[in-house]
Amino acid sequence: STLIEFKDVVKEYKSGDHILRAMDNVNFTIDEGEFVVILGPSGAGKSTLLNLLGGLDSATSGQIVVNGEHVENFNDNELTKYRAKNVGFIFQFYNLIPNLTAIENVELMKDIVDVNIDGKAVLNSVGLAGHANQFPAQLSGGEQQRVSIARAVAKQPAMLLCDEPTGALDSNTGVLILNLLQDMSNNRNTTVIIVTHNAILAEAADKVIRIKNGQIEDIAINEHPKKVD
């Protein structure tokens, strides 16, 4: 079933007396459990799209419907609740807290959302059993990214939003991370949305949304997405 719908979404930024239209009448839907890659060159509007979907910024006009709720009508307080409940963010540079251990980074979410988190079990599920008490600096880049994925999925959000999740990693580790995200989509019915400029990631996706100059260029369904392993 449909989890996300963008209807005629416009996003304009004001800088001085100049208005820049970063999102220009964008329409698409994303199904529950779908593995979606949003592809586009630098400046296309990928970050803008993630920020709108993640409730970090508000659209200028149009509708953003998630689980039947109209996100575009939410005030700041409602957006904060929406983010906590629905959205797990995964960033290119992990955004882990350096003076907290892996398990403390994962369990941090307990205080933010009212949900019980078994940090150890979540770390095990991303292949990090035995690393629970290490600090980020003691982990490799791939391991740090897995901690950040564990943190994002721990609260079981409706969607995982990933900004270039393999961007800072060498290709071997990038494949492992992509494999983990694909597994989460296939086996746990997590909706995974990746924005990237890397066309190779598109082969693994159920759906590829290409954007350019703030507009949808193409939406393609992969009947047989490439299994990453």
The residues that touch ligand ADP, with contacts defined as CB under 6 A, are: 13, 15, 20, 22, 40, 42-48
Q: How far apart are CA 95 and CA 77, in angstroms?
A: 23
CB of 157 to ligand ADP, least distance (A): 21
| Contact between residue 159 and residue 184 where contact means Cβ atoms under 8 Å apart | no
Residue number with CB closer to ligand ADP (92 or 134): 92
Nearest to 198 by CA among 224, 223, 228: 228
Categorise residue 126: left if φ over 0, alpha if ψ from -120 to 50, beta otherwise. alpha
The answer to whether the CB of 227 falls within 8 A of the CB of 56 is: no
Nearer to ligand ADP, 13 or 93 (CB): 13
Least distance (Å) between residue 49 CB and ligand ADP = 7
Query: Measured from the CB atom, is 163 or 206 closer to ligand ADP?
Result: 163
Concatenate the DSSP letters of all residues of 119-151 into one string. Answer: HHHHHHHTT-TT-TT--GGGS-HHHHHHHHHHH
b/e sequence 132-169, b meaning 16+ C-beta within 10 Å: bebebeebeebbbbbbbbbbbbbbebbbbbbbbbbebb
Least CB distance to ligand ADP at residue 186 (A): 27
Nearest approach in angstroms of CB 137 to ligand ADP is 25
Pair type for strands 215-221 and 207-212 = antiparallel
Question: Is residue 214 within 8 Å of residue 25, measured between CB atoms?
Answer: no
User: Shortest distance, CB of residue 210 to ligand ADP, whole angstroms?
Assistant: 11
- The smaller minimum CB distance to ligand ADP, of residues 47 and 179, is found at 47
For ligand ADP, give the closer residue by CB, 45 or 55. Answer: 45
Nearer to ligand ADP, 22 or 123 (CB): 22
The minimum distance between CB 120 and ligand ADP, in angstroms, equals 34
Q: How far is the CB of 187 from ligand ADP (least distance, A)?
A: 29
CA distances from 28 to 3, 34, 49 (A): 11, 13, 11
Of 53 and 154, which CB lies nearer to ligand ADP in the complex structure?
53
